[in-house]
Amino acid sequence: MKGTSGVNQLNSVDARSVAIVLFSNEQYGIIAHSTGSVNMQKIKYLDGLRGLAALIVVLSHFVVAFYPAMYNGAREQVHTASAIELSITKSPLNLLYNGNFAVCIFFVLSGFVLSYKFFQTKDNEVLVESAVKRYFRLMIPVLASIALVVILSKLALFYNNEASVTSFSTWWLGSFWNFDMTLGHVINNAFYGVFFNSNADYNTVLWTMTYEMYGSLLVFGLAAIFGRVKKRYLFYIAAILLLFKTYYVAFVLGMMISDFHNNNGFKHAFFRNPFVNVVLACVGLFLGSYPSGSIVKGSVYGFIEANAIEDIVLYHIAGAFLILVALLNTTKIQHLLSTRLFVFLGKISFSLYLIHVIVIGSLTSFVFIHMAGYVGYSTAVFLSGLLTLPIMLIISYFMYKYVDYNGIKLANKIYSRIFKRDLDS
Mind listing the pLDDT tens digit for each residue in 376-397? Answer: 999 999 999 999 999 999 999 9
Amino acid 30: pLDDT:
33
Amino acid 419: pLDDT:
64
For 33-61, write each residue's pLDDT tens digit.
Answer: 333 344 444 589 999 999 999 999 999 99
**Residue 152: other Cβ atoms inside 10 A:** 17
Amino acid 421: pLDDT:
60
Taking a C-beta distance cutoff of 8 angstroms, is the pair 2, 99 a contact? Answer: no
Return the HEC string of 96-116: HHCHHHHHHHHHHHHHHHHHH
Amino acid 335: pLDDT:
96
**Residue 337: is its pLDDT beyond 70?**
yes
Amino acid 14: pLDDT:
33
* CA torsion through residues 90, 319, 306, 195, sign: negative
**Residue 425: is its pLDDT beyond 60?**
no
Establish if 1 belongs to a structural domain.
Answer: no
| Nearest-angstrom CA–CA distance, 323 and 181 | 41
For 85-134, write each residue's pLDDT tens digit.
Answer: 999 999 999 999 999 999 999 999 999 999 999 999 999 989 988 998 89
Q: What average pLDDT does the structure give for the chain?
A: 89
* Pairwise pLDDT comparison (25 vs 308), residue with the higher score: 308
Establish if 7 belongs to a structural domain.
Answer: no
Amino acid 424: pLDDT:
54
**Residue 303: is its pLDDT beyond 70?**
yes
Domain encompassing residue 372: 20-424
Number of domains in the chain: 1
Establish if 3 belongs to a structural domain.
Answer: no
**Residue 25: is its pLDDT beyond 60?**
no
Establish if 37 belongs to a structural domain.
Answer: yes
Q: Could you tell me which of 7, 57, 22 has the C-alpha nearest to residue 407?
A: 22
| Nearest-angstrom CA–CA distance, 132 and 403 | 19
| Nearest-angstrom CA–CA distance, 92 and 286 | 7
Establish if 63 belongs to a structural domain.
Answer: yes
For 183-226, write each residue's pLDDT tens digit.
Answer: 999 999 999 999 999 999 999 999 999 999 999 999 999 999 99
Establish if 51 belongs to a structural domain.
Answer: yes
Backbone angles phi, psi at 7, to 5 degrees: -60, -50
Establish if 47 belongs to a structural domain.
Answer: yes
pTM of the shown model: 0.89
Establish if 280 belongs to a structural domain.
Answer: yes
